[in-house]
Structure formats: C-alpha cells, structure tokens
Amino acid sequence: MNFPKELKFAQTDEWVRLENGIATVGISDYAQDALGDVVYFEFSVEVGDKVKAGGQLGQVDSAKASSEVMLPVSGVVTEINEAVSDDAEILNKDPYGEGWLLRIKMDDPAELEELLSAEAYQAYRLG
C-alpha cells in the first residue's frame, strides 16, 4: 500500500498536495482499498464554493459501502475532476494521480499543519 511522503493526510482518509497555495485533494490508497470496487462518486460541492475543513466533499459508493468523503482543508473550490463522476473506477486505479477529486485555493496554508504526515497516517491506519 502506497503512502507518498510528499502528501498530507486527514484521519478521514483524504490526501492533500499543496502547490502555490492551491491544494489538490483526493482519497488515499488505503481508503480505496478498504472501499473495494468503487461504483459511483458524487460531489457535494461546486467550483466557486467557499468550503470549510470537516464539511462534506462528496459521497463515494462502492460495492460494499456508501461513505462520505470529507474536506480536509478550507478555502474556495477552483477545479473539480469531472472524470471521477464519469468513471469512478479511477479512484481504485490511481488514487494519487488521475483519481484526484478537486483543487482548493486555501484560506490559510498553515491549516496543513493540522493534518498528518505520511508516516503518521500510515502508523494511524496500519499500526
């Protein structure tokens, strides 16, 4: 299972990559593995929305469960990966790449410090 060092993670299994104040968000490799075959993904937010960390990002349905995906950071949604709505299986195939979910212009990049490092997240999930 893959826990890329350059990413930050939320305890609710989302990852964040910060570049120039813009955070790219997705679900972790651990999350996609635990979900099993993903069937649908539905976004709860739109481009332009002002969002807060801890709110709902979307809903992911797999063959075994329906789960909420949470927003790990606060800010304004600048981009949404529509490809996920069309073909949610890419969340299984490439959770850190093609399966990214959305981009957020962060209000305060310092918020990132509240998230877990890859090592801490790996220890939290796999003990």
Partner 1 sequence: MTEPTIFELSSPGRQGVRFPASDVPEVELPAAFRRKELPLPELAEIDVVRHFTRISQKNYAIDLGFYPLGSCTMKYNPKINEVTSRLPGFALTHPLQPEDTVQGNLYLMYTLQEWLKEIVGFAGVTLQPAAGAHGELTGVLIIQKYHADRGDTQRTRILIPDSAHGTNPATSAMSGFEVVHLPSDARGNVDLEALKGLCDENLAGLMLTNPNTLGLFDENVTQVIELVHAAGGLVYGDGANLNALLGIVRPGDLGFDIMHLNLHKTFSTPHGGGGPGSGPVAVCQRLVEYLPDPVVAIVEPGGEELPPLYGYAHPTKSIGRVKSFNGHFGILVRAYTYIAMHGRDGLSNIAKKSVLNANYLLAKVKDTYHLPYDRRCMHEFVVEGQWADAPGIRALDIAKRLIDYNFHPPTNYFPLIVHEALMIEPTETESIETLDAFADAMLKIAVEARENPELLHEAPHNSPVGRCDEVRAAKQLILRAPKA
Identity of residue 14: E
40 near partner 1 (CB under 8 A): yes
Task: Please report how close the Cβ of residue 109 comes to partner 1 at its closest, in angstroms.
Answer: 27
Distance CA 121, CA 127 (A): 9
Cβ atoms of 3 and 82 within 8 Å: the answer is no
- Taking the alpha carbons at both ends of the chain, their separation in whole angstroms is 13
61 near partner 1 (CB under 8 A): yes
64 near partner 1 (CB under 8 A): yes
Identity of residue 17: R
67 near partner 1 (CB under 8 A): yes
Task: Please report how close the Cβ of residue 30 comes to partner 1 at its closest, in angstroms.
Answer: 10
The pair of three-digit structure tokens given for residue 9, joined into one six-digit string: 């993670």
Binding segment toward partner 1, per CB under 8 A, in 19-27, 63-71, 72-80, 107-115: 63-71
63 near partner 1 (CB under 8 A): yes
